[in-house]
């Protein structure tokens, strides 16, 4: 198995990195290329950029962001938000992204996953699943998607997804630890790599998530203190987690 | 140094282009056979499906151009799917004939987690590179492995890598620099 991965997640809107609580009260916190490069230098294994507004205007600037990130950063990155068609996804990969992430569009039309996998290859297709109490939420977690989380994960795999990015909504931003029970169920049910998201507060939380998943997404905690990434890597190594030597 | 990156209608041409530009080379998107024949180094990149990639290569005559290059002993680098379609055949898409630049075939990974995505050590050097694949080469031309999977294969003037040097940070840049220095 490849080494466990740490993946900072940057929310972008209209070409800028933003911070807010559940996509509300967005504040500008910087340039996506600068922040992405800083995380890359601090030892990030991959990056995720999520366009959190995904309006027509924001989509255009998101493509520009993907293109500029690819110029400055030489580690893999995923782009998500507003991708509804194979054409949308192809444009993002041609700009230099390595994977696309789809969420509500896949829930609305699951066949999108097959279409993406057959043109881009499964390895480029991440399905993001927002979940609470074993159920899937859509539209930035504002709506009940009327689906069981584990059943939807299995369906994504059967349709050709390459990775699952699973965010536990009730943990997100709490720093109380990942939903290890759900992650363990997913590990036992699907054979895709899973990126755990929601709840990182300490190195021990991240180590526990990496024990049952292949990667850990780091969102709100890094936005408060970007320098934590380098320290986290040291602490994880001290806990016996085998991370990549980035030099 | 001129680097021709085969642009066959799919794949991550821009990422590869940017990586070579960072090293001071002159990369170009090659959609014509002539560009592939005359470059100092030709690169066959690749993400996506083997069937579509081979069709795109044939449509543009890039398959013949690569065969001519390797027959003439000129350096050629295949990356990820670019290594897999350079073999005699691949299991992907129900079986697709490859370019035959090196002997062997690509087979579906049978492992714990497929696709195999992430950084993994490549032996014998011990350096970690980034992988993202569901198929892998089986070839007598193997020169390096990663967790028992073919990571590098060399046959005559063709060098194929399963990992993505253009996305492998400093280790990847050093690898591409070595490719350029051998030209």
Residue of B nearest to A118 (CA): B49
Which chain B residue shows the shortest CA-CA distance from A93? Answer: B12
DSSP, collapsed to helix, strand or coil, labels residue B160 as: strand
Among the residue ranges A141-145, B2-6, B31-35, the one predicted with the least confidence is A141-145
| A79 belongs to a structural domain | yes
| Within a domain: A17 | yes
What is the number of structural domains in chain A? 1
pLDDT digits 0-9 by tens, B160-175: 999 999 999 999 999 9
Residue A224: predicted pLDDT: 72
Residue A150 within any structural domain of the chain:
yes
ipTM of the complex: 0.95
Helices marked H in chain B — which ranges? 13-22, 33-38, 50-59, 62-71, 81-84, 169-181
Residue A246 lies in a domain: no
A207-242: pLDDT as tens digits: 999 999 999 999 878 877 778 899 999 999 999 999
What per-residue confidence (pLDDT) applies to B62? 97
Whichever domain contains A29, its CATH number is 3.20.20.70
Q: Test B170 with A76 for CB contact under 8 angstroms.
A: no
Domain holding A22, by residue range, is: 5-238
**What is residue A22's predicted lDDT score, i.e. its pLDDT?**
57
A:209-228 residues touching chain B, CB 8 A cutoff: 214-215
Under-70 pLDDT residues of chain A: 20-24, 247
Which pLDDT score is estimated for A225?
A: 78
Instruction: Say whether A96 and B18 touch across the interface (CB within 8 A).
Output: yes
- State residue A219's pLDDT score: 86
- CA–CA gap between residue A44 and residue A39 (Å, rounded): 6
Does residue A37 lie within any of the structural domains?
yes
Q: How far apart are CA B56 and CA B161, in angstroms?
A: 21
Distances (CA, A) of A192 to A187, B116, B152: 8, 9, 25
Q: Considering only residues 26 to 65 of chain B, which have any Cβ-Cβ distance to chain A shorter than 8 Å?
A: 47-49, 52
- Number of alpha helices (DSSP H) and beta strands (DSSP E) in chain B: 6, 13
Mean of all residue pLDDT scores within chain B: 96
Is there a catalytic annotation at residue B164?
yes
Sign, CA torsion B17/A125/A54/B168: negative
Query: Nearest-CA distance from A199 to chain B in Å?
Result: 22
**What pLDDT is stored for residue B87 in this prediction?**
98
Q: What is the pLDDT of residue A123?
A: 96
| Torsion angles phi and psi, residue B64, rounded to 5 | -65, -40
* Domains, in order of start, for chain B: 2-181 (3.40.50.880)
Residue A169 at interface with chain B, using a CB cutoff of 8 Å = no
pLDDT in tens, A169-188: 999 888 899 999 999 999 99
């Amino acid at each position: 198995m490849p080494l466990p991965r740490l993946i900072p997640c940057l929310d972008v809107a209209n070409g800028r990195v933003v911070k807010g609580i559940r996509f509300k009260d967005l504040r500008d916190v910087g340039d996506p290329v600068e922040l992405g490069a800083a995380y890359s230098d601090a030892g990030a294994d991959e990056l995720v950029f999520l366009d959190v507004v995904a309006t027509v205007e924001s989509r255009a600037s998101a493509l520009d962001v993907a293109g500029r990130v690819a110029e400055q950063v030489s580690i893999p990155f995923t782009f998500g938000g507003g991708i509804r068609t194979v054409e949308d996804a192809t444009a993002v990969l041609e700009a230099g992204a390595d994977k696309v992430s789809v969420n509500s569009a896949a829930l609305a039309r699951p066949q999108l996953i097959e279409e993406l996998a057959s043109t881009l290859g499964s390895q480029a297709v991440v399905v993001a699943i927002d979940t609470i109490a074993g159920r899937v939420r859509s539209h930035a977690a504002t709506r009940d998607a009327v689906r069981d989380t584990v059943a939807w994960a299995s369906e994504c795999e059967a349709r050709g997804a390459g990775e699952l990015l699973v965010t536990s909504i009730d943990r997100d931003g709490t720093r109380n630890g990942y939903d290890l029970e759900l992650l363990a169920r997913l590990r036992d049910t699907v054979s895709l790599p899973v990126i755990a998201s929601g709840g990182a507060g300490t190195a021990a939380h991240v180590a526990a998530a990496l024990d049952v998943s292949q990667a850990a997404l780091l969102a709100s905690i890094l936005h408060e203190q970007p320098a934590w990434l380098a320290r986290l890597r040291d602490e994880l190594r001290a806990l016996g987690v085998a991370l990549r030597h980035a030099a | 140094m001129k680097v021709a990156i085969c642009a066959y209608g799919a794949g991550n041409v821009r990422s590869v282009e940017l990586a070579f530009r960072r090293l001071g080379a002159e990369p170009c998107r090659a959609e014509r056979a002539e560009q592939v024949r005359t470059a100092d180094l030709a690169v066959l990149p690749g993400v996506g499906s083997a069937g579509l990639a081979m069709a795109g290569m044939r449509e543009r005559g890039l398959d013949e151009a690569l065969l001519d290059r390797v027959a003439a002993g000129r350096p050629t680098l295949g990356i990820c799917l670019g290594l897999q379609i350079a073999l005699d055949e691949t299991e992907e898409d129900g079986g697709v004939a490859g370019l035959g630049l090196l002997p062997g075939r690509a087979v579906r990974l049978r492992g714990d987690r497929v696709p195999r995505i992430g950084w993994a050590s490549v032996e014998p050097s011990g350096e970690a590179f980034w992988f993202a694949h569901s198929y892998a080469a089986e070839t007598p031309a193997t020169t390096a492995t990663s967790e028992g999977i073919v990571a590098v294969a060399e046959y005559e003037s063709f060098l194929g890598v399963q990992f993505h040097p253009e996305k492998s940070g400093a280790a990847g840049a050093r690898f591409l620099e070595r490719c350029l220095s051998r030209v």
